[in-house]
C-alpha cells in the first residue's frame, strides 16, 4: 500500500517530464521524494546506480530519464540515442528488480510503434512492422525497456508498468532550435520572428503530417494515477486521442504568439511519420484521461517561455 511517506525515486527529475511528475507528487502530499541530478548520479554507470539503490532503498521508481531530441538530433547522434538510453534504463530496471522495488513505471514514447501502423496506434501493434528511420535508435532502446518490464512481470510477478506518451510539451521544455521537438521549436521561431518585425517563419516539411500533443502536467497526472493504481497489463498509451496537422499547429502557435508574418514550408526537409495518433482506450478504461486543451496548453507554455527567455534551456550535444 502506497503511503504519503513511501520513498519514491523520480529518475530524470530535472527534465521536463520528471519535473512535472515531481511537482504532481508534491502537490498530492508525497513527502519522501528522491531526485538527483546527472552530476549527483550518473545513470549510465552501473556501479553508481548499484550504490544508490543499496544506500537509498527506494520503494517506487519512476523512470523519466532519457536522452531525447527531435529528428535532427536523432539523425546526427544515432549511437548516443541508442546506447545512452539502453544504459540508463537497463541500470534502473535491473537494480530496481534486485532491490525489491514495489512498483516501477517506465516512460517511453509513441515512436516505439511502426512508422506505417494503422491509426490510431494500439498497444498490440508493437513490433509488427518497421520503425520510422529518423528516430529508430531511440525507439529501439525504449522497446527494449518495455520488453524488460514485461519480462519482469511475466517471470517475477512484479508491478512493472510501461507508459507510452504521445508528443509532450510544456514548462521546462527544450527550446533549442537544433535539438528541440516541433512544438517548442515553433513557439521560439514564431516569437523571434515577431520580435524581428514579423519576419517570415520557415518550417520543415509540407505541414501535412498529423500529430497529437499532450501537456506535460497531464502526463504527470497519468504517472501518479498509474502509481496509485494496479494495472492489469504492462503497456499503456497516454495521450488525448485527438490530433491535428502540423499546418494547423503552426497556425495555432502563430495566433498565440501574435506573429503576423508569412509561414514558408521547406518541402525539401523530411516530414517524419505521416500520422501518429494514440489509441488511449486502455488508459481511459483504467480510469484516466487528459484534461488540458491544446490551445490552453500552448498559451501556458508560451507564457512560461516569455518568463524564462533569458535562461531557456539550450541543449548542446
Residue 142 annotated as part of some ligand binding site: yes
Q: Is 277 annotated to bind ligand? A: no
**167 among annotated binding-site residues:** yes
- 270 annotated as a binding-site residue: no
Q: Is 16 annotated as a binding residue?
A: yes
Is 35 annotated to bind a ligand? Reply is no
Question: Which three three-digit cell numbers place residue 22?
Answer: 515531481
Instruction: Flag whether 69 is marked binding.
Output: no
Q: Is 204 annotated as a binding residue?
A: yes
8 A C-beta contact, residue 287 and residue 225: yes
28 is in an annotated binding site: no
- Count of alpha carbons within 13 Å of 314, Cβ hemisphere only? 7
Residue-level length of the chain: 317
List active site positions. 138
Is 206 annotated as contributing to ligand binding? Answer: no
Degrees (nearest 5) of the Cα angle 256, 261, 262? 110
**Alpha-carbon distance 45 to 174, whole Å?**
25
- Cβ(139)–Cβ(82) below 8 Å: no
261 is in an annotated binding site: no
Q: Confirm whether residue 189 is marked as ligand binding.
A: yes
Integer Cα distance of 224 and 183 in angstroms: 25
Whether the Cβ atoms of residue 64 and residue 12 lie closer than 8 Å to each other: yes
Please list, in sequence order, all residues whose beta carbon lies within 8 angstroms of the beta carbon of residue 292, skipping any fewer than 6 positions away.
Answer: 215, 217, 218, 300
Task: Tell me whether residue 157 is annotated as binding.
Answer: no
Strand partners, 201: 263
For residue 62, the 8-state DSSP code is: E
Question: What Å distances lie between residue 139 and 4, 26, 108, 113, 136, CA to CA?
Answer: 34, 31, 8, 8, 5
181 labelled as ligand-binding?
A: yes
Q: Binding site, residues? A: 12-18, 107-110, 142, 165-168, 181, 189, 204, 211, 271
Q: Binding site for NADP(+), residues? A: 12-18, 107-110, 142, 165-168, 181
Q: Binding site for substrate, residues? A: 189, 204, 211, 271
Amino acid at each position: 500500500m502506497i503511503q504519503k511517506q513511501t520513498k519514491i525515486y523520480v529518475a530524470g527529475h530535472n527534465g521536463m517530464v520528471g519535473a512535472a511528475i515531481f511537482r504532481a507528487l508534491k502537490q498530492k502530499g508525497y513527502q519522501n521524494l528522491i531526485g538527483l541530478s546527472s552530476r549527483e548520479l550518473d545513470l549510465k554507470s552501473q556501479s553508481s546506480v548499484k550504490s544508490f539503490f543499496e544506500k537509498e532503498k527506494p520503494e517506487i521508481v519512476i523512470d523519466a530519464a532519457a536522452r531525447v531530441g527531435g529528428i535532427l538530433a536523432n539523425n546526427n547522434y544515432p549511437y548516443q540515442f541508442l546506447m545512452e538510453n539502453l544504459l540508463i534504463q537497463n541500470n534502473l530496471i535491473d537494480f530496481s528488480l534486485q532491490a525489491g522495488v514495489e512498483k516501477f513505471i517506465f516512460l517511453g514514447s509513441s515512436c516505439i510503434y511502426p512508422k506505417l501502423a494503422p491509426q490510431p496506434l494500439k498497444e498490440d501493434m508493437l513490433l509488427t512492422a518497421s520503425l520510422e528511420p529518423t528516430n529508430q535508435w531511440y525507439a529501439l532502446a525504449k522497446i527494449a525497456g518495455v520488453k524488460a518490464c514485461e519480462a519482469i512481470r511475466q517471470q517475477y510477478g512484479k508491478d512493472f508498468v510501461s507508459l507510452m506518451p504521445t508528443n509532450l510539451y510544456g514548462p521546462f521544455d527544450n527550446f533549442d532550435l537544433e535539438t528541440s521537438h516541433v512544438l517548442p521549436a515553433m513557439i521560439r521561431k514564431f516569437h523571434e520572428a515577431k520580435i524581428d518585425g514579423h519576419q517570415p517563419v520557415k518550417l520543415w516539411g509540407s505541414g501535412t503530417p498529423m500529430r497529437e500533443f499532450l501537456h506535460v502536467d497531464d502526463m504527470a497526472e497519468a504517472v501518479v494515477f498509474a502509481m496509485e493504481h494496479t494495472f492489469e497489463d504492462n503497456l499503456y498509451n497516454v495521450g488525448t486521442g485527438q490530433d491535428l496537422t502540423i499546418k494547423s499547429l503552426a497556425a495555432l502557435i502563430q495566433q498565440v504568439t501574435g506573429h503576423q508574418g508569412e509561414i514558408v514550408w521547406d518541402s525539401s526537409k523530411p516530414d517524419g511519420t505521416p500520422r501518429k495518433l494514440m489509441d488511449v482506450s486502455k488508459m481511459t478504461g483504467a480510469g484516466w484521461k487528459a484534461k488540458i486543451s491544446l490551445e490552453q496548453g500552448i498559451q501556458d507554455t508560451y507564457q512560461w517561455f516569455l518568463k524564462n527567455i533569458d535562461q531557456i534551456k539550450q541543449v548542446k550535444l
